[in-house]
Chains A and B, each alone.
Chain A
């Protein structure tokens, strides 16, 4: 859901829609009170459906940072439980060795909705940190310059935050295979490509194969 009063212009549009909403209800009510009730229910359902709809496409928030002249190439890796997958480790090693890159691994603190809304995220953060630590051990063992941090449980938000702090040259997203990945279900890779003007690579990690 997109915030309907994010800016003054949004608030103004919200006002105009409010006027239309109430004008329709009052007009219906003036003709017949049951018609007014019907218009009220119909208009409210339409408003609720529009508010719960995914927000419109947001223009890329960041321009491509491009290469960092005189500095190391930077690779941002975002992964859930797949962060220790062989396919991902191999991909990171491949990219890091090609460009002698710095790697930042972001593991979102994955949590249940109930725990999220009750702010009970200690367990999720601990699990994410353990995954990061295991991944860093594996990468450093093969000489990759890697660091890790826990990200927001919203992967798109985690990527945006990491872009601000790390300014990567490319993004690698690791997910489970199609059909078993919530992130793919939510079209994370496509949304990341739409939103950030950076090269985005997608690595599928199948734990069953591992």
Chain B
């Protein structure tokens, strides 16, 4: 029996043997526990975003008006900066490409490509966040101006928080990449962070289409 099989075999050993410590975890054989963790995390995130989308669509359905977004109490018209958001979308999608490039480079043993990909991804993510802050500053309405404004800031703000958290993760991954922690054989940290970043990107596509386009 291989050493690997032996370790799993120990997990099946009867309780009360000479080993006082708990038996090794019997890992599910189909998926890495760390990857399973990020998938469960993303599942919970989808539910969180789902609740915000529910509020948004509820507001939209109950506002039976000819135009969307609705007009404010003082006749104020809410202009959604869709072009700026489109540019921001392209920036975020590009960051996913650089993230994927970094992972592929790591798998091929190309450390320079890995580091360059990570740095570019961080910079693009930072650009997205800064652009969104500029958008908030210039948008002309605030959270207290109608339910539409509140849900607009709620959805885009929730996504912005995720981008911020993603940037912190990416920064950690970048530092690890420069310190040589990842190799073609060992790069779970890169995989997990990459899945999260692509998830943030997918959510932005949904937010962009829902809030800015439809």
Contact = CB atoms under 8 A, between A and B. Distances in A.
Contacts of A157: 29-30
B30 A8 contact: no
Interface in A1-22: 3, 5-9, 11-12, 14-15, 18-19, 22
A18 B8 contact: no
Contacts of B214: 29
Contacts of B201: 15
A7 B35 contact: yes
Contact of B209 (A7, A14, A22): A22
Interface in A81-124: none
B8 A8 contact: no
Interface centre among A5, A15, A18, A164 (most CB of B within 10 A): A15
A14 B42 CA distance: 14
A164 B27 CA distance: 10
Given A9-B103, A65-B2, A164-B8, A22 B205 contact: yes
B199 A5 contact: yes
A55 B32 CA distance: 18
A161 B103 contact: no
A12 B190 CA distance: 13
Question: In terms of DSSP, what is the predominant structure of the interface of chain B?
Answer: helix
A3 B9 CA distance: 28
B205 A165 contact: no
B48 interface: no
Given A167-B1, A167-B5, A160 B29 contact: yes
A166 B30 CA distance: 17
A11 B194 contact: yes
Nearest to A58: B30
Interface in B1-59: 1-2, 4-5, 8-9, 11-12, 26, 29-31, 35, 39, 42
Contacts of B198: 5, 8, 11-12, 14-15
A160 B194 contact: no
What are the 8 A-B residue pairs with the smallest beta carbon separation, nearest first? Answer: A8-B194, A11-B198, A167-B5, A12-B100, A11-B195, A165-B8, A8-B191, A167-B1
